[in-house]
Structure 1
């Protein structure tokens, strides 16, 4: 509880520090929203030009980018500072964290408040409301609970992927560029039904780089397409659990990697 209180106080101070520069604060929110314009354009084209995609109705497809964007916005807000780890390692800042009486991962997450996440979440929430409103599904408590779990699982899975990149950066600082590549993949393929892609690509994004578990599989289960994916139905339905287990495994890898960290110069 003491650790939670300290984290909350530091977060409040970081947020107040951002508010000291109101124009920049509002600009960063706008940047977060504008960053998602491509997804909004995709949603607009989908709803106005197409009635289906890969056997999915357009209203069902809309649930995929809505889930992905909401999971991504929560990741940026709660755990997204892991993006900066590569830069901290290259600059040697990580070395100063090692001598402080607080876990390194927590220090990284408390480094600053991600104002752009407010813009991300605003757009994502609006898209999710629109997706639910257009959906023909009967939103029972079970479906709502599963959707919430799926968003949280997607957040944790995205955090796990970038944590693995951070672990690699501890040994190879240039691995930080892999994070940019991963972000591009999430933005490019994370908003589509993967069954419209060649099977080899869909298999890679399922079992090689498990992007399918972020939004595609949960949306497939919710909309009745869970039996038409490249994975067994039980595995697709377990996407929230996969996200949790992946994050726990990534944190164990982070702890092991940090214990073997010898400095940016080796």
Structure 2
């Protein structure tokens, strides 16, 4: 509980600092909103030309789009400390974190809570709300469970990917941009149903990086289309746990990376 209240204190300080320049903050939020809005406009243009992708309609794809953008906006806001870890390593600032009597993971999570991600978050919520209302999906216990676990699992997965990226920095010093294939590239991938991709691509994002488990299978059950991917219905209800397991593994790798940290030598 002490760590929890300390984290809330970190967040409070971060929010106060970001709100010092309110016009800049509003412009950043607006920029995020317009940027993600253009992305969905591209999807709408695609469907206006071809009407559907296989058996998938715009309303159904909008559900995948909304969920992954909501989850990624939250994960990106929480994990900015890990995302900028390369700079912390090069400046030797990680030594200061190690001297404090708190876990480094807690300190990095509290480095910055990026409030400008509200733009992507609000746009994702609007698209998902439109999808659910257009498809006439009512909020039953079953639907709330599927949407809630998908949301939590996806946040855990994206946080885990960012932590793995930061862990690799212990050895590479520079943050590897190739990891953005799994973060921003993963968001682009999960905006569409996984059934449209080739088999090897589906397997990679199911067994190695469980993106399909957190953002695709639960929503198949919401849409009652689980037969599309030939998975049992019960699996759709538990598959988001793969995101939490991925985060646990990432945290263990982080502990391993800390043991090999050699400081800057300055």
- TM superposition score normalised by structure 2: 0.89
Change in 2 beyond 3 A, CA 1:145/1:231: closer
Q: Which moved more, 1:229-238 or 1:33-42?
A: 229-238
Do structure 1's residue 224 and structure 2's residue 228 form an aligned pair? no
Shift, 1:78, TM fit: 2.8
The residue aligned with 1:133 is 133
**Mapping for residues 116-265 of structure 1, pairs under 5 Å:** 116-229=116-229, 234-263=234-263
Give the whole-Å Cα distance in 1 for the aligned partners of 2:38 and 2:214: 19
**Contact 2:80/2:113 (8 A) holds in 1:** no
Q: Which moved more, 1:174-183 or 1:158-167?
A: 174-183
Change in 2 beyond 3 A, CA 1:175/1:112: closer
Do structure 1's residue 77 and structure 2's residue 67 form an aligned pair? no
**Mapping for residues 89-100 of structure 1, pairs under 5 Å:** 89-100=89-100
Give the whole-Å Cα distance in 2 for the aligned partners of 1:107 and 1:11: 11
Deviations 1:1-31 (A, max 9, x none): 2222222122112211211111221122123
Change in 2 beyond 3 A, CA 1:257/1:191: same
Change in 2 beyond 3 A, CA 1:263/1:54: farther
Q: Which secondary structure does the structure 1 equivalent of 2:203 belong to?
A: helix
**Contact 1:30/1:119 (8 A) holds in 2:** yes
Deviations 1:205-264 (A, max 9, x none): 222333222312222222122232276655444222111111112112212221222235
**Contact 2:161/2:183 (8 A) holds in 1:** no
The residue aligned with 2:104 is 104
**Contact 1:28/1:115 (8 A) holds in 2:** no
Q: Which moved more, 1:27-36 or 1:63-72?
A: 27-36
Q: Which secondary structure does the structure 1 equivalent of 2:174 belong to?
A: helix
Do structure 1's residue 39 and structure 2's residue 1 form an aligned pair? no
Give the whole-Å Cα distance in 2 for the aligned partners of 1:71 and 1:99: 33
The residue aligned with 1:21 is 21
Q: Which moved more, 1:163-172 or 1:32-41?
A: 32-41
Ranges in structure 2 where 5+ consecutive residues have no aligned partner: none
Ranges in structure 1 where 5+ consecutive residues have no aligned partner: none
RMSD value over aligned CA atoms?
2.3
**Contact 1:160/1:246 (8 A) holds in 2:** yes
Deviations 1:151-180 (A, max 9, x none): 111111111112111111112223432333
Change in 2 beyond 3 A, CA 1:257/1:107: same
- Please identify runs of 4+ aligned residues in structure 1 that moved more than 4 A: 230-236
**Contact 2:75/2:156 (8 A) holds in 1:** yes
Shift, 1:150, TM fit: 0.8
Give the whole-Å Cα distance in 2 for the aligned partners of 1:116 and 1:78: 12
Q: Which moved more, 1:35-44 or 1:142-151?
A: 35-44
Give the whole-Å Cα distance in 2 for the aligned partners of 1:90 and 1:240: 35
Q: Which secondary structure does the structure 2 equivalent of 1:53 belong to?
A: coil
Q: Which secondary structure does the structure 1 equivalent of 2:101 belong to?
A: coil
Give the whole-Å Cα distance in 2 for the aligned partners of 1:36 and 1:81: 23
